[in-house]
Chains A and B, each alone.
Chain A
């Protein structure tokens, strides 16, 4: 936070742009978000606690967190390999692969949802090979995780790429000339340098997965206690006209996202200091 008082600037337009910015944020973001805590507690604190401690709600939170964490872990491993390969190695089609990485950002989540569901259905392109092994991907936590892997991948790759590219090759040269073998260079020089960005990418994929709806809703099957994620339970409560219940679940979900955002901000500050920015 800037502690300086408003300094006179030679440029015009502060009042009008600032007034418009604040008004717009208030109308579009702040006032609507404010309805959540108010509505959550509109039927008393006891109602709020009973709602969020309901076994079905707890199960949905647990599933959301576990599946998001599993997906972020998979993306942490494979996203790292993809980022490394894209920055460090030269092969035909590298640029095309590089631009494909952003597809999950650009593809509407509903499209991703129906596509993954059809692919992993027992008769689908992928599902038919899983079926003989008794693996059911669709309508199971595995399917939810697959959808979350899809939407989370770009976060890890795009966070790591610039840091790998900025990695000073001289550091590796120095380490090598001092007698380190490649394995030592990787574990003692490269990974410690990439570690913060890796963690941030992981955290962003995790945070995104927690609130995800469109890509998950089709593949999840939405069975209470088993494959019902938190954002879906909010919709279910809404269709039952339980507005306070929906708000309570949403409020907890929102607090969870904010907590993650704070952790990520702290991580970014730490990482920036570490890298000497």
Chain B
């Protein structure tokens, strides 16, 4: 969500016919590939009327899935937020050997296929995994249970907060914190009074992206979930189950809730970015510096 929009200069642009043609192609592409699918979700969800929609969402298994999805997000997001703050502080406020390597390691989960992300936890905690026999002896279930879902979700949503914070804290420099320290602030005062106000929009942005990914993750969760109905089915898994049972309307009803979460994410991101820019913080600093690429691949 970058706002690199600006008014074009007529003298330096393409002929009108070319402009219209390019705009038509761009709008048609966005329309066919993004807008129509999005609208379609809601058309399908309400195909049998509003009452069927409400019934699909109030079904016990759907309610359990919604509940589990929220629980997973509530466990994953704070963990990754605390990690993001600690990592950003260590990386941007101190010099040490291997800093580049550490930053690359943080981005690593984005390069790993979600299915592989689930698989590695099965290899650790599954029945045939490294810790499998020990866990079995002690009657602890991680795979095909909620802890496994939480671990896999933490893995895939791991870099968001750290990335946003590292970009902003690198750009803002250490001087303000050093001044606070010289003036006698202790670590906690410095963090609360100086660092946090400076990075709060970036932090919020990272938390929003992390939450969206945590609630919507499918590939990694589908490997570790085991699909025990009402127990280990998150919303995306429940959507899959219903769809494969040809309960299309119910499936799309639940999917429409996830689509609404996606829209809320985009809207909140736009607001946070706008506020951040007003306060002189570039939330999307990653995108505006060198062309290091698209921000936050969810």
Contact = CB atoms under 8 A, between A and B. Distances in A.
Interface of A: 1-7, 9-14, 16-18, 20-21, 24-25, 28-33, 35-36, 39, 78, 81-82, 84-91, 94-95, 97-112, 114-116, 118-119, 125-126, 149-150, 153-159, 161-165, 169, 172-173, 176, 182, 196-197, 200-201, 204, 207-208, 210-214, 218, 231-232, 234-235, 238, 241, 243, 246-247, 250, 253-254, 257-258, 260-261, 264-265, 268, 271-272, 275, 277
B219 interface: yes
15 contacts: A6-B97, A10-B178, A11-B93, A13-B93, A32-B155, A78-B29, A85-B22, A85-B27, A89-B8, A91-B23, A95-B5, A108-B217, A116-B37, A231-B116, A232-B115
A33 B115 contact: no
Contact of A211 (B37, B114, B258): B114
A235 B235 CA distance: 20
Contacts of B115: 211, 213, 231-232, 234-235, 250
A165 B102 CA distance: 31
Given A14-B93, A29-B155, A2 B217 contact: no
A1 B30 contact: no
A268 B291 contact: yes
Given A21-B86, A97-B30, 13 more contacts: A6-B96, A11-B178, A21-B87, A28-B158, A35-B123, A89-B23, A108-B239, A157-B294, A213-B222, A243-B128, A253-B116, A272-B290, A275-B290
Interface in B1-34: 1-9, 11-15, 19, 22-23, 25-27, 29-30, 32-34
B58 to A, nearest CB: 20
B116 A234 contact: yes
A6 B95 CA distance: 6
A107 B113 contact: no
Contact of A200 (B29, B259, B291): B291
Given A25-B105, A213-B114, A246-B119, A10 B182 contact: yes
Contacts of B38: 100, 103, 107, 115
B223 interface: yes
A104 to B, nearest CB: 7
Contact of A12 (B104, B187, B243, B287): B187
Interface residues of B, number: 122
A96 B13 CA distance: 23
Given A81-B22, A275-B291, A3 B116 contact: no
Contact of B97 (A3, A31, A250): A3
A176 B11 CA distance: 10
Contacts of B297: 105, 154-155, 204, 208
Nearest to A88: B8
Nearest to A36: B120
Interface stretch (B48-56, B133-141, B196-204, B247-255): B247-255
A64 B118 CA distance: 19
B109 interface: yes
Contact of A114 (B30, B109, B255): B255
Q: What are the nearest 8 A-B pairs in CB distance?
A: A211-B113, A108-B216, A165-B4, A158-B294, A213-B219, A106-B262, A214-B218, A105-B298
A116 B262 CA distance: 17
Contact of B120 (A3, A32, A158, A159): A32
A99 B270 contact: yes
A100 B15 CA distance: 27
B57 to A, nearest CB: 15
Nearest to B18: A182
A220 B100 CA distance: 39
A237 B180 CA distance: 57
B119 A247 contact: yes
A33 B120 contact: yes
B112 interface: yes
B289 interface: yes
A109 B219 contact: yes
Contact of B291 (A78, A234, A271): A271
Contact of A28 (B113, B130, B155, B262): B155
Interface string B72-110: 000000000011001101110111111111101110110
Given A235-B222, A235-B223, A161 B2 contact: yes
A112 B259 CA distance: 9
B72 to A, nearest CB: 13
Given A6-B95, A97-B27, A103-B34, A243 B123 contact: yes
